[in-house]
Amino acid sequence: MEMHLDYWTTGYNGSRISYTPKGLAWLDTWGSLRYATTTAFLASVYADWSGCSAKKVETYKNFAKQQIDYALGSSGHSFLVGYGINSPKRPHHRTAHSSWADSMSVPAYHRHTLYGALVGGPDKDDSYTDDINNYINNEVACDYNAGFVGALAKLYGEYGGDPIADFKAIEEVTNDEYFVEAGINASGSNFIEIKAILNNCSGWPARMGDHLSFKYFVDITGAVKKGYTADDFTITASYNQGAAISRLLPWAEAENIYYVNVDFTKVKIYPGGQSAYKKEIQLRIAAPESMASWDHTNDYSYTGLDGVTSGKVVKTTYIPVYDAGVKVFGNEPGSSSGSSSISPVTATFDKYNPEDVSATVIYNGNTLDNIKNGTDLLVKETDYVVSDNTVTILSSYLAGKSVGKLRLTFDFSGGNDPVFTITITDSSVIPTGDLKVQAFHMNTAETVSSIAAKIRLYNTGTGDVNLSDIKLRYYYTINGEKEQQFWCDWSSAGTANVTGAFVKMKEAKSDADYYMEIGFNEASGPLSAGKSVELQVRFSKADWTNYIQTDDYSYQGTGTSYADCDKITAYLAGNLQWGIEP
């Protein structure tokens, strides 16, 4: 056992497990965290045994803590779903994704949070992509969690901890589960043919829809004035995936409002694949042939369909859906008393990258009286703005709220009052370590043939550190893939002792697709506690074509003196000590 644990920690007979730059003991591409955290569990158990070599107890315990810390986010990225900073949002897990179309791309987010699942983990360079298609790094499995849970139990016994506040399994519904999409297949002076698709995208829970129907409402006032009745209209379907269609049925007979009932009862519509979750009908409503014209544009259910042609469809609340006769989506005519709705009903706001958050409102004849946070009223034009059907909650308001869930109630004049849940995060947490970086640029022009910066690196700890154990990363966009070259023009550690390497990021960001990794060789010596080392570095493309540096992540702006720069990251023995990665 000690031979095994030594191989994972200090090494055995000159052989040692590989470590990522940020400190994960890395064995294999598939499930790298599984091996590290299970070994952490074994190390914890063995270190507690009286037969463990006394001098190795702390080594094994420290290893266990380090590996679990890595899994929980010490590198700046949690690998535990639903926990910590930058935790996985799109693990490779069919039920958490909850696709009604049996597709990894539909929807483009996960409808459920698989709390507590440990994903496979990063590659040997700490790179990781949170994507459902990335089954190598982002899959979850029982054996991934097994040893990890044992190690957590051990560490909880030593360090304690608090459960997630208000944790419960009941989730908020993030999308309409049933709805109709519709468009105009064809139209003439006295008829209209509607292409309508009935959708079952249920997920709370996913469930069978074999009693679904919808109503299409029409206004036949023009025909009545010419002496016709509802019985003179004909209802046909040029294409039908199983629905029974009615004649025109009265809704508000005194107002000449009628409807066609399209009933898919006994047709199994369920969120189980492309052909399973939706059914289509092409419904034609025609006035009598002897009636030269009939205005279908004033029909209640025609609202929002004008111009939706050529096979296109749009989601509409003016064609209500029913499950066994109970309305589950949309609104019926004449109901300013009907409920208003908003979409989406959830959003995320990051204090570090603040952006306004918007929702689309369907008023259904109601007005938005105000928006409430509990009993507190938001101030229009200060906290939020309204433009037609869009309500925007301003970032200036959200920035002042605490990290967690903010529930805003949209108070309408009638019907239900939907709740907009905004999850507030803060990705600006800077690791507390023993290093600090200051910097400024020697050329601040927008377009430059070489990027040049002065960097000052501080040892803020209480003991000396070896410069050879330190790496700095400067993030930028290459603006055209070319070979690149690096120079250190001056350094208090000795110009020849400074190294530079170009690394293409596996997951490109809008402001960074490369980083320059600056290091030091063994001859650079130690950096004493409280002391600093200065560097003057630059890099360019081999053909001297330009960079656009003003949109680069690590660009520091127009300052001409040293200032703290948390966008140049610093690592000590692979562990992030300073800065925020893009």
Instruction: Give the three-state DSSP class for 117.
Output: coil
Domain boundary among 400, 425, 450: 425
At residue 84, the pLDDT reads 86
pLDDT of residue 366: 81
Q: How high is the pLDDT of residue 335?
A: 56
* pTM summary value: 0.60
CA dist., res. 7 & res. 11, Å (int): 4
* Same domain as 373, residue 507: no
Spans of the chain, pLDDT less than 50: 336-337
- The set of catalytic residues is 92, 130, 139
Task: Looking at the structure, tell me whether residues 421 and 439 fall in a common domain.
Answer: no
CA dist 6 and 3 (Å) reads 5
Give Cα 565 distance to the centre of its chain.
27
Task: Give per-residue pLDDT as tens, 476-497.
Answer: 999 988 999 999 999 999 999 9
Q: Does 171 reside within a domain?
A: no
Predicted pLDDT at 336:
45
Domain span at residue 104 reads 1-159
Each residue's pLDDT tens digit, 107-126? 988 999 999 999 999 999 99
- Would 172 be classed as within a structural domain? no
Co-location of 1 and 85 in the same domain: yes
Residue 363 and residue 237 in one domain: no
Nearest to 337 by CA among 258, 259, 416, 256: 416
Q: At a CB cut-off of 8 Å and minimum separation 6, what does 286 contact?
A: 190, 191, 233, 234, 235, 236
pLDDT at residue 428, as a whole number: 67
> Are residues 196 and 131 both part of a single domain?
no
- Pair 139, 1 in one domain: yes
Is the same domain home to 86 and 217?
no
Strand residue runs (E) in 510-544? 512-520, 526-527, 532-541
Final residue before a domain boundary, out of 131, 159, 187: 159
Same domain, 310 and 203: yes
Task: Specify whether 5 is located in the same domain as 46.
Answer: yes
Question: 65 and 21, same structural domain?
Answer: yes
Q: How many domains does the chain have?
A: 4
- For residue 167, is it within any domain? no
Domain CATH for 466? 2.60.40.710
| 220 and 72 belong to one structural domain | no
- Is there a domain that residue 164 lies in? no
Per-residue tokens: 322: 């029913």
Q: Are residues 291 and 373 in the same domain?
A: no
Which residues on adjacent β-strands are paired with residue 249?
A: 259
**Last residue of one domain, picked from the residues 277, 302, 329:** 329
| 173 located within any domain | no
